A and B are shown apart, each in its own frame.
Chain A
Amino acid sequence: MKNNKIWLYLFSAPLILFFTVFLLAPVIIVFGTSFMEWKGFSGNITFIGLDNYIAAVKDPEFIVSFQHTLIWIVLQSTIHVIIGVSFAIIISRKFRGWKILRTSFMIPNMISASALGFIFLMVFNGQIGLINSLLRKLNLEQLAHNWFFDPSTAFVSVTVTWLLFAGLIMLLVLTEIGTIPDSLYEAADLDGASQWQKDLFITIPQLRNVLGTCMIIAATSKLKEFELIYLTTKGGPGTGTMSLPLYLYNTSIVQNNFGYSNMIGTVLIALGLILIFIISKVFKIASDD
C-alpha cells in the first residue's frame, strides 16, 4: 500500500494539469491584464493601473451592457425560477402524462443554444415568422412586425428566448420534492389540509436549499449568455440588447482590445462571486461538502 501515494498524485495530475492550463491560467490572465493596456497580440503590454475600470464607468456601451446584464440576472433568478419551481410542484403529483410534460419542457434546454437562437429568429421573423403568421390569422396584422429589429420589442423578444425554459430548475426541484418524507404530508392530511396548503406550508419550506442552488444557477447563467443574443440581435438594434458577455466578445475577438475585454471578464467573474455570496447568505445554504 505504500507506493499508493505516488499513484494518488499521478491520478490527480491530469485534472490538475487541465485545470491549470485552461481555467486557472486564464483566470489569472483575465485579472492581471485587466490593469494593462494590450491591443492585439503584437501590441505592447503596459501597466495602466485602474484606467480600464475608469474608462468603463465613462463608456456608455459598457454601462448599458452592465444594466442589461443585471436586469436579465434579476428576471432569471425570479421569474425563471418561479416557472421552474411551480412546474415541478404541479407535475410532482405524477398524474397521467407527467413524463411527457417533463420531456417537452426539457427539450429547449437540451439542444444547442445556437439552434434555439436560430429557431427563435425564425419564430419572430417578420415575413414567415410563427408569431406574425398567428397575428395575421387573428386579424391583428397591425401588431405584426420584425420583433428582434424593432427597438421597442427587441429586448423583450430576446428575453423570451430563455426566460420560460426552466427545465433544469424544474428537474432539480422535482428531485428534491422526491426526498421530502411522506409522513409530513400524512400529518397534514389528518389535519384536513388542502393540496394548495400542503404545497405552500410543507413543500416550499422544505425546498429552501435547492431554491438557493436554483437561484445561483439561474443568476450565473446570465453571466455567460452569449449565443442566444449573438444569433438573434447581435446586441442591437444599436445597443438595445447588448450585454457584458457580448461586449467582451466584441472588444476582445473583434477589436483585439485585450486589456479592456479582460476588465469586462474580471467584472463578470466578480459579479458571479458576489451573486453566489448574496444568494447563499439569503438562503443560508449549508456547506456540507
Chain B
Amino acid sequence: MKVKGYSYVTSIALISIIPFLWVVMLSLKTNEEILNNPLSLPSQLIFSGYGNALEIAPLGQYLINSAIIAVVSTALNILISSMAAYTTTRFDFKLKKPIVIIMSISLLLPITALIMPVYSIIRFLGLYDTKTALILVYTALDLPMSFFILRAFFLTIPKELEEASYIDGSSFLQCYGRVILPLTSPGMITAGILHFIFCWNEFLYALTLTASHGARTVPLALNYFTSQFAFDYNAMFSAVVIMIMPSILIFIVFQEKIIEGLTAGAVKG
C-alpha cells in the first residue's frame, strides 16, 4: 500500500516536470539532432540558441516590457489592496461589508468573460496598445486575490502597537506609514510575488489590448515563434526556456511565501 502511494506521487511529479526537462535539453541541441533524435541527450551542448532567440524575435524588447509592466503593476496593486485591507480589518465603517462582499464575488468571476468591455474601456481611455493599459488592467483584475491575502495577514497582527502609536499622537497616515507598513511587509511581499507572477504569465488581455512591439509582453512572443521560428527549433526551445525561467526561479526561491499566499487567498473565496 505504502509503496503504491509513493510510486503514484512520484510518477505524477515526474509527468509534471519531464516536459520541462525535455524542453531545456532540446534548447541545448543542434537542429539536426533535434530532428533526428529528439530523445537522446545532447552529444555536445549548444548555447547559441539563446543568443539567436534574443536576436530573431523581439524577445529582448518583450522581456523589458514584461518587467516594467509587472513591477509597476505590482507596486500599484499592493499599495491599493493594502490600504483597503487596512481600513476593512481595523475599522468599522459603512463601506467595510460592501467591499468585502464585492471582492469575494470578484475573486471567482470568469475574467475571460470581460475581455470585450475591458477592450472598449481601454480604447475609450485612449490607452489601446500601451503598457499603461496592461498595468491598470492587471492591477484591477488581481485586486481581489491580493486583498484577501493581505486581509488574512492583517488579521494576525495585534492591535496594541497601533493603539500605542495613536496614544503617542500619531495621525492616521503616520500610523499607517510607520507602524502598519513595516509590520505587514511580509504579507505584502507574498501578495506581491504572486501578483508579479500573474502579470508575467498573463496572455489573453495582453493579446487583446496590445498590437505593437512597444507594449507586447513575453507570453505573446510564442505566437511570434510559431511562424518565425518554424525551422529553428533550437532557438525556439531556447526562447521558451528564457520565458519560463523567471517564474520557475521565483517559485523555487520564494516557495514557502507563495504557498502561504495561495492558500490564504484561495480559501477566502
Contact = CB atoms under 8 A, between A and B. Distances in A.
Interface string A105-149: 111101111110111101100011110011001000000000000
A5 B20 contact: no
B222 to A, nearest CB: 5
B183 interface: no
Contacts of A101: 9-10, 13
A87 B6 CA distance: 9
Interface in B183-219: 197, 200-204, 208, 218-219
Contacts of A269: 109-110, 113
A225 B20 CA distance: 21
B39 A217 contact: no
B17 A23 contact: no
Given A12-B84, A114-B222, A107 B17 contact: yes
B247 A245 contact: no
A26 B38 contact: no
A224 B2 CA distance: 38
Interface of B: 1-2, 5-6, 8-10, 12-20, 22-23, 26, 34-35, 37-39, 79-81, 83-84, 86-88, 91, 93, 95, 99-100, 102-104, 106, 108-121, 123, 136-137, 139-141, 143, 147, 166, 172-173, 176, 197, 200-204, 208, 218-220, 222-223, 225-226, 233, 237, 240, 243-244, 247-248, 250-252, 255, 258-259, 262-263, 266-269
Given A12-B99, A30-B114, A265-B114, 18 more contacts: A15-B147, A26-B121, A90-B6, A101-B10, A103-B255, A104-B16, A104-B17, A108-B16, A114-B220, A118-B240, A130-B38, A133-B39, A168-B266, A171-B262, A217-B266, A220-B110, A249-B204, A253-B119
Interface of A: 1, 3-5, 7-9, 11-12, 14-16, 18-19, 21-27, 29-30, 41, 83, 86-87, 90-91, 95, 100-101, 103-108, 110-115, 117-120, 122-123, 127-130, 133-134, 137, 164-165, 167-168, 171-172, 175, 194-196, 210, 213, 216-217, 220, 223-227, 231, 245, 248-249, 252-253, 258, 261-262, 264-266, 268-269, 272, 276, 289
